[in-house]
Structure 1
């Protein structure tokens, strides 16, 4: 057995074999794959093999599309038939809201080049008369979709990997991972059959690997313990049943092709043909998580007992949709573990806190994602980044606060939500509230409706506290939901009077020490601020794309505060700590402290914000304390608001006159009460995240995870003024080498009267697709929809007329100047 490799892949399911194959295809000639049992013996063997292209995520849509295209090429390369049946995928809708969901998805699909067709109930009935359609609104049909034999496609990828030089070893279990400082020492034990079980022998081997990828599926919790990290991938029971042959179907198939994979999303199931009968796969309520603390040694290619009562509703709805199935008996049943994560997306990318350790865990749609996972992860590992932004799948999107109980309950929720309407404004309720700041109860009493950011509760908007019982704060919509009017009022208050926003979930890291300045100069793109000043800057990947956006506060000569997006706290922290450890020998000692939960933050913005602060500030001359002379724009100062010590920053993400107020979190309720009392006489409103999102688009402020990500450079994002090309910084040359492939723009949109874009829509010039939106919303300043996105560079000119695809129609849009509201920043700089 070989004992030194460049890359070791642990796990021989569809995902692991694809990763090994694609690493070899990318040029890594020294790759090994280990499987503790037989290939496909995990969830792969009992997977139904569906290949649904439908996904609301831009990155995941690309991954699924690559898989579908890749699987079609495997037989020509390997000589093995992957068992791909291109029968199409018919996703039916019983409600108008479901059709709205499909239309939003379809616009996203267009940005990834995924073909689709619309079908009416009459067209469905004419083409597939076994399907009942009188209660349907319509359907979206993917002609290139279908299903595949999971074992066959895995074996085909394994053969393709071997042909490219990959070594595949079965019956070897990894028992320890040790990082030596330059490579991994992976100790493995030979597994042997004994009494039908797989047990460890006395034979052990240690493999040295430069890189390790774990694709251990249901065994992710064991992997987490071996690595000393948290991996919130825990299996949930998924059951499906196979019927006896349906005589009506058998007769139909004598003269017709297979039915497409049928999905009745409102009934929460999929159905496909299987040897003259049907496979029903439900996503029911109350499916339990299993193996929270690891898979028992006795569990191999095993199943759980079927719980027919749990899926009775879904079974009856299949009979309703396909009446001929009512008299057909059950032939087989499967109830096996399928791994999930709290948001349903896999964990794909660098392991937190570890070097050259990569995770590919938590795949609830592993067969669908396997091909694309291998392709894009291989790009990240061999080239530094993938061509698409993989941040939404990054394992570091979950922090150390994550517990087993949280992951298990959220994973059960994610399973249940597979077919529940995926509203862009949805807020799933399980395990909430969990992480709260001291003012949570005050905000709730004031009508706050919360969203979750990194586990923290954060107000999305403030609704009426005396709302009638008929008012449903939980009502969601693909159009303007019940919250829309309240968000509009909040946005207007910031433009006209003042608004108070809780920004406490910001990630906050403090750097000190003699090496901090040199490190930050190398780490970020902009000039560093002088003491008492701030700047906006970017940390790049090695590939020259945007890893993180930071606001840097330089309080003193050697005290730096880095503020970044709250949702990406663990992601930013891991990257920062790894690079500090790497560069400290060169730059000198650097201390990093995490102040995220030590300091709270409020944003006070609007024309009256200075007047409100004047009432609270303790200063020898309160009338001038907040003037431009003493407190200019883009500066920071230590001030006192009543008895609360505050680091105040003259900046506002909303584009109005305003300040960010950072303070020790134990003062939060004290400061909140004083700001609310002082603001009341000035017409101040409490403001949530949705209004803030609209307002920042009026200023063309890019947001990380939307306009900013690992698939675009700051220059492509139009942030040249924050990039100092006179200095050297990480990723600089790679950024320049990429050139300008697309350009970020802001658009004003004449859209539907009852809807705004969400930031997932395709952009057109005539009949040609030329880009996509990355943000969307409503502009109170211009009285119409607004959005931001990327287009071909030659189109990124003020006045260019484009179209936005919304609800299967093209709506007029025009590229406006950057920062269409207050382009000269006169409002932000206003003196007083």
Structure 2
């Protein structure tokens, strides 16, 4: 008999390191009636064969916080549970073999300092001192993180499982979940099977920690969990005489990592062209299994490794290992509450960093489940970032060939995925390509990022310096600032909210006032109970009972889900209409002249002032124009039904020849918006950034009686700001800013840039970032001297609390 309960507060599916971590952390929070079900034995999927590298530094501050937490947790688990985790702080070294990689790892080192991670840039000779066996020929530089470590993956999971049991959780092996029961959007429980015995556990919550089975388990619940298993290779040598504990070594330019363990070397690879596996499903009896060897696939990595670490050439191979691991479309794991359900959670798809991520991910998810709100910004990994189409198996197969290798590829700014492209195209796609558009991809949408000249190859040439499109984008930027530019905004999310309670409902969800006349556009945020920003949107009143919410392309699903979760008793219908309307932004001092040339309607301030919309005739078609801007210039967004989109594009482009109209891309939009100090959701503003500290208090109307976050806004007004969003411009014109560069105030690191781009009008790189200011006035903040750390070099910067470009917004209202 399995002796499983009929009811649980939470059922966790999957007994790898992630599932064990979630159980452990929920139990630590005092949850009772926790049941973890593992289809075979604990760790038998992918955890058991993980390399066990435990690094602190990740791509963002919060992901780094989670990785650091994992490391600290593993250090203490052994004494708590009595299970040896094998955790050692042996340090890690990453070396660069090219100048571009050197800049990358130096930028990472600067970022590490801003995130509070101990780090040191080291010379090739210093690399040799710390790693005596390494051939440093071709090594340009290294980065040393002394507190990085390694551990025993299986035992870390078993320690977490024991810790969960010690706090009352039930952990059962050899119990397979066959089905997930559901009523509406709520999961009601799971059906299980064990040795022919079957049963049902009613559950308040279900957590999908099924690893490479996560996609399949998600489908049982009607939930999209896009991930794909890929083959992952490493070798373990025979014992090498005299080999002692070494740091973890990464040589990403040769796709390789090295770990010393018990006098042997483990050599692993993230090769550029990966091998997806399990397209027909993971075998039901898979347990501690290996995949067939493919020495030909691994041989190029091994050849380079024997040159880089000559002692490998003389060491026998004890184990050639090939095992599957799951990868996601963007190399970030899936965490959080599934958009399709009210109580189905996901923690899966860890892209070969499951051991170093598991502690922090389990902690974050447990806190989220306990409080009902994210404990801090988890946008990088929130499952709601995934688009429905990304669960397509053919898409996952094609994309996963690339994502494994991207872990060790050069992480150039603006780097675009090369696989699984062209899936979502706007109605203007072919028009843009014919005019030289170079496409980027976001949430599956193909978007023109810049336009190549006639004699120029229309593709990216990546670098950490000025890339080959820098001047192209500068020309587009100047067109919008000085004349007129047009760009495609069709990918931005469009959500209709309609019904008799639409005004009341949106007044509850939004910080702004939705009790406005038909045709009025309101810039607003969705706030959480802490005053943090869950969404940054414009809301246009289309009629007495209908509004259009316009969101960033990447967050449409998350923003729609936020709306749906707060509907309650309000009588409203919420519909995604993104694909139904195409949008062309016509921006610049001469934009009014162009629109007047193609439409009989009146675009003057008297009829169509800033922040209003109107229905128009255009060419031989119909459209709706919204007078708003994300580039800080006079302009309109032209909304047109998909069937008439091509006609409207051609009408505007043909008439635009008289005005020297310039087609523009997303890079232009980014450089213009940052000069104007406009915030970018997901970078400058997130769920943990208070709307007042983000400098967006003007968009919140606290005289409304009741809206989410109102008390937190009033409280912040009473107690004062702890930090302020500040705009910075480098005093030197050459260096480039992207994001995460440290901010130094009077010589001390106080934060980091949340976003960065080049200000072609201002004449230098511009960034936004938060500066602590508790008890300080605005004058105090601006009274300091500031520098930005660019790849280890401090560059003086000018700081401002007002937009450096057109601070009074006079240009948008002419």
User: Which TM-score tier does this pair reach, normalised by the shorter chain?
Assistant: over 0.9
Task: From the superposition, tell whether residues 698 and 261 of structure 1 become closer, same or farther in structure 2 (CA, over 3 Å).
Answer: same
| Cα offsets for 1:640-677 (capped at 9, x unmatched) | 11112111011111010111111101222211112122
Aligned residues: 800
Task: From the superposition, tell whether residues 117 and 472 of structure 1 become closer, same or farther in structure 2 (CA, over 3 Å).
Answer: farther
Task: From the superposition, tell whether residues 598 and 58 of structure 1 become closer, same or farther in structure 2 (CA, over 3 Å).
Answer: same
1:559 Cα shift?
Answer: 1.7
Residue 375 (structure 2) pairs with residue 391 (structure 1)? no
Residue 771 (structure 2) pairs with residue 791 (structure 1)? yes
**Alignment equivalent of 1:457, drawn from 443, 446, 455:** 446
TM-score using structure 2 length: 0.95
- 1:616 — aligned with what? 598
Residue 255 (structure 2) pairs with residue 264 (structure 1)? no
**Alignment equivalent of 2:401, drawn from 390, 412, 415:** 412
Report if aligned partners of 1:343, 1:411 keep a CA contact under 8 Å in 2.
no
- 2:711 — aligned with what? 733
1:181 Cα shift?
Answer: 6.4
Distance 2:26 2:693 in 1: 29
Distance 2:282 2:130 in 1: 45
**Partner of 1:37: helix, strand, or coil?**
coil
Report if aligned partners of 2:9, 2:33 keep a CA contact under 8 Å in 1.
yes
Distance 1:165 1:803 in 2: 51
5 Å matches for 1:361-440? 361-364=348-351, 365-402=353-390, 403-440=392-429
5 Å matches for 1:73-222? 73-180=76-183, 184-192=187-195, 201=196, 203-222=197-216
Task: From the superposition, tell whether residues 259 and 759 of structure 1 become closer, same or farther in structure 2 (CA, over 3 Å).
Answer: same
Distance 2:185 2:800 in 1: 50
1:735 Cα shift?
Answer: 5.1
Task: From the superposition, tell whether residues 285 and 574 of structure 1 become closer, same or farther in structure 2 (CA, over 3 Å).
Answer: same
After TM superposition, the structure 1 stretch with the greater mean CA deviation from structure 2, 686-695 or 28-37, is: 28-37
Report if aligned partners of 2:185, 2:341 keep a CA contact under 8 Å in 1.
no
After TM superposition, the structure 1 stretch with the greater mean CA deviation from structure 2, 648-657 or 709-718, is: 709-718
**Partner of 1:520: helix, strand, or coil?**
helix
After TM superposition, the structure 1 stretch with the greater mean CA deviation from structure 2, 437-446 or 529-538, is: 437-446
Distance 1:615 1:217 in 2: 58
Distance 2:114 2:373 in 1: 20
After TM superposition, the structure 1 stretch with the greater mean CA deviation from structure 2, 707-716 or 41-50, is: 707-716
Distance 1:464 1:593 in 2: 40
TM-score using structure 1 length: 0.93
Report if aligned partners of 2:501, 2:545 keep a CA contact under 8 Å in 1.
no
1:472 Cα shift?
Answer: 7.4
Residue 735 (structure 2) pairs with residue 755 (structure 1)? yes
Report if aligned partners of 1:802, 1:812 keep a CA contact under 8 Å in 2.
yes
- 1:510 — aligned with what? 496
- What value does the CA root-mean-square deviation take over the aligned residues? 1.8
**Partner of 1:415: helix, strand, or coil?**
helix
Distance 1:423 1:229 in 2: 33
Residue 70 (structure 2) pairs with residue 42 (structure 1)? no
Task: From the superposition, tell whether residues 3 and 769 of structure 1 become closer, same or farther in structure 2 (CA, over 3 Å).
Answer: farther
| Cα offsets for 1:352-385 (capped at 9, x unmatched) | 2101111111112111110010111122222233
1:737 Cα shift?
Answer: 5.4
Distance 1:367 1:513 in 2: 48
Report if aligned partners of 2:330, 2:403 keep a CA contact under 8 Å in 1.
yes
Residue 726 (structure 2) pairs with residue 745 (structure 1)? yes
Gaps of 5+ in 1: 193-200, 620-624
| Cα offsets for 1:752-783 (capped at 9, x unmatched) | x5432102211111342211111111112321
Report if aligned partners of 1:770, 1:791 keep a CA contact under 8 Å in 2.
yes
Task: From the superposition, tell whether residues 288 and 663 of structure 1 become closer, same or farther in structure 2 (CA, over 3 Å).
Answer: same
Residue 445 (structure 2) pairs with residue 447 (structure 1)? no
**Alignment equivalent of 2:11, drawn from 8, 11, 34:** 8
1:183 Cα shift?
Answer: 6.3
Report if aligned partners of 2:45, 2:286 keep a CA contact under 8 Å in 1.
no
After TM superposition, the structure 1 stretch with the greater mean CA deviation from structure 2, 651-660 or 228-237, is: 228-237
After TM superposition, the structure 1 stretch with the greater mean CA deviation from structure 2, 415-424 or 724-733, is: 724-733
5 Å matches for 1:508-657? 508-528=494-514, 529-580=516-567, 583=568, 585=569, 587=570, 589-619=571-601, 625-657=602-634
Distance 2:406 2:167 in 1: 40
Residue 263 (structure 2) pairs with residue 276 (structure 1)? yes
Report if aligned partners of 1:771, 1:789 keep a CA contact under 8 Å in 2.
yes
**Alignment equivalent of 1:816, drawn from 796, 800, 803:** 800
Task: From the superposition, tell whether residues 799 and 665 of structure 1 become closer, same or farther in structure 2 (CA, over 3 Å).
Answer: farther
Residue 318 (structure 2) pairs with residue 341 (structure 1)? no
Report if aligned partners of 1:220, 1:234 keep a CA contact under 8 Å in 2.
no
Report if aligned partners of 1:240, 1:334 keep a CA contact under 8 Å in 2.
yes
Distance 1:735 1:15 in 2: 36
